[in-house]
Structure 1
Amino acid sequence: MEIILDPNKNAYENANAYFENSKKMKKKLEDTRKAIEETKKEIEKEKQMQETKRQQKEKKVQIVQNKEKKEWYEQYHWFFTSEKLLAVGGKNAGQNEELVKRKFFENDLFFHADIKGASVVILKEGKSAGERSKEETAQFAACYSTAWKAGYSIVDVYYVTKDQVSKSPPPGEYLEKGSFFISGKKNYFRSIPLRLFIGITKEGKLLCVPEKYGEEVFKTYYLIEPGKYSKEIVVEKISRQLNASKEEIEKLIPAGNTSFTRMR
């Protein structure tokens, strides 16, 4: 290494000048290293931000795609019977009207709890359904009725065919929105217990079905029935235990106080 000395300075002054210059160079080098490290951190931070934005964008796209893929019946109460037949019920008077007007066809069956204020449940292709599917649908209709809110443990449920259901009442009578005139013989299921299973299936899906459907599909589930706890408490407890969305759980549990029992 070559060291340039100042001829106008003595050895001590030259050594001191060299030392001071070395300190300045060392500080500049340290500052440069710090600047490089800061630049690396900024670059990494920018990469992470871009990756987060990309993931959020993908998530939004996925959410939109999921919404687009929803089936028509998912806006209602619904389940598939053990015979893989769709049972779909109105959540309110407007949906009851809509179901009967647009989704009730010749081979379907119309189920209704024998009480004022209940979901109309349509069993698609119900005329070819076995007795088990009919029983499951009857229990589903029983649960989504005012019988639950009233605290009943059982209620009668009937079913009829399309030609028996009308919006034209006899002279002098009036039908409220969501109500229908039923003619001819009603086919009854008597003393149907108001009990539902709600849980996570072995495939990881959230599901709510009538008790008569059975428990085989569930990995973990609860039995719910009319009881003493507010809906808010039940939703909070079950959503936490099932690690599921409160919003989704709330959609599935009937209106009114409920009791719940962990089954698995």
Structure 2
Amino acid sequence: AAGIMDARHHNDDGSSLQRRMAQLERAIIAFDAKGEYHPQHGISIHDNWGPIDTLLSQTLSAIEAEGWDNIRSKVKSIEWIESLDPAKRTMKAYLPDEDGEPAQRIELHLDESVHQNAQRYFDAGRKQKDKTIGAKKAIEETLAKIVSSEKKRAKADAAGKLQATKRSKQLWIERHRWAVVGEGHLILGGKDAKGNDAVVNKYLKREDLYFHADLHGAPSCALKLKEGLEEDPHPLPGLPEGVPALRLTQTFETEEFSEKCIKEAAEMSVVWSRGWSSGGAAATAFWVEPPQVSKTAETGEALGRGAWIVRGKRNWLRDLTMEMTLGMAVVNGIPLPLVGAHVAVTKWCERWVRIGPGTTKKEAMANKISKATGLVQDDVLAALPPGNVQILKDNNLLNT
């Protein structure tokens, strides 16, 4: 199966190298043209030593006698001189062709000799030649990179890996913890105190639900009713087998959450809490409606960053399973780990792992998953729970 490169959302190394090749080739054409042009001017100046020496001396004498302004006006009627430049102390003049008529235009420095003017063109020609040599060497190096890139791509294709590349922008959901539950609904969680405030203030709408694990410091979470993931009707060509093409949507027609969706959202809220690091097999969480969440304490004082007051009845869910599933997908054209409830992830992803609290450092696990899938290691690390992990089941993701 072929790998994936998506120029719509992030830099494509292959395309970048091809563009670099085209730029270098155009530069060589320009360098070669200038390289031939400059030495020829120098030769022509030498061939017309006498007339040019006379032109230089007469023009300079006239300027000294009458001034630049007067002479600039007078040279307009002289067919051998195009213009004078007082700032640069140069003039643009014409060399004769085989019939003795004005033809090749050159720039002459009035304070330099004929030889010095000719040497300027010879030196410029050598510089252009050096640039051409440098560009040709750069083309050879770029070509070698293209060949190497294609070999890596072919190797990744054979292993069913995604070809994820560096990108400058993130999807908006990546600014937070995010997962899929139920029929594809998004649940968002704060990564820190600032993130907790953003999740509630910016993303928790009236039709959504607020979740929180029954543990101090757990993230505020928003289960979105109208937002989630759906199959992309226009998938990129060449996706590895078993890797779904998905896209974000804000138009779910769901009117209310199912009990199954609510339970899975609660499970994600405990997965993202310190309960994971403690190694517990189960935990407790609650959900409330958005109007029950406030930034104002009973005393009327405003709470600090990341803190929220929940008033009224809390809907508790107990004995929640401490595990999550991770698959590989392409979301809005970007290769990403897809995490969430087991059923929600596996309805799209054929390759996945079930993850629970364990003894393997999450950094080591992220590295292992990245190597097996082609996903960017930092993206995998951001998707994993906050603590050590273990693989409960591997369904052809790691091929272990």
* Aligned pairs, number: 216
| Alpha-carbon separation, structure 2, partners of 1:51 and 1:240 | 26
Match of 2:313 among 167, 181, 185: 185
Match of 2:222 among 90, 101, 122: 122
The worse-fitting range, judged by mean Cα deviation, of 157-166 and 77-86 is 77-86
| Alpha-carbon separation, structure 1, partners of 2:371 and 2:316 | 38
Secondary structure of residue in 2 paired with 1:128: coil
What letter matches 1:92 in structure 2?
A: D
Q: Does residue 76 of the first structure (1) align with residue 207 of the second (2)?
A: no
Partner of 1:197: 325
| Alpha-carbon separation, structure 2, partners of 1:191 and 1:248 | 30
Question: Superposition pairs for residues 99-178 of structure 1, below 5 Å?
Answer: 99-125=199-225, 128-171=256-299, 175-178=303-306
Match of 2:192 among 89, 92, 97: 92
Change (3 A) 1:246 1:158: same
What letter matches 1:103 in structure 2?
A: Y
Question: Superposition pairs for residues 231-246 of structure 1, below 5 Å?
Answer: 231-246=362-377
| Alpha-carbon separation, structure 2, partners of 1:109 and 1:122 | 6
1:137 Cα offset (Å): 1.1
Partner of 1:225: 356
Name the structure, 1 or 2, with higher relative contact order (CA <8 Å, separation 6+): 2
What's the RMSD between the two structures over aligned residues? 3.3
Change (3 A) 1:243 1:51: closer
Per-residue deviation, residues 182-211 of structure 1 (Å, max 9, x unmatched):
111111111111101112249975211123
Secondary structure of residue in 1 paired with 2:319: strand
Partner of 1:20: none
The worse-fitting range, judged by mean Cα deviation, of 217-226 and 203-212 is 203-212
What letter matches 1:223 in structure 2?
A: R
Partner of 1:27: none
Q: Which runs of 5+ in 1 are unaligned?
A: 1-40, 57-61
TM-score, with structure 2 as normaliser = 0.48
| Alpha-carbon separation, structure 2, partners of 1:199 and 1:124 | 21
| Alpha-carbon separation, structure 2, partners of 1:255 and 1:106 | 29
Q: Which runs of 5+ in 2 are unaligned?
A: 1-132, 150-165, 227-254, 396-400
Is the Cα–Cα contact under 8 Å of residues 135 and 212 in structure 1 kept in the other structure? no
Change (3 A) 1:202 1:104: closer
| Alpha-carbon separation, structure 2, partners of 1:153 and 1:104 | 29
Is the Cα–Cα contact under 8 Å of residues 338 and 345 in structure 2 kept in the other structure? no
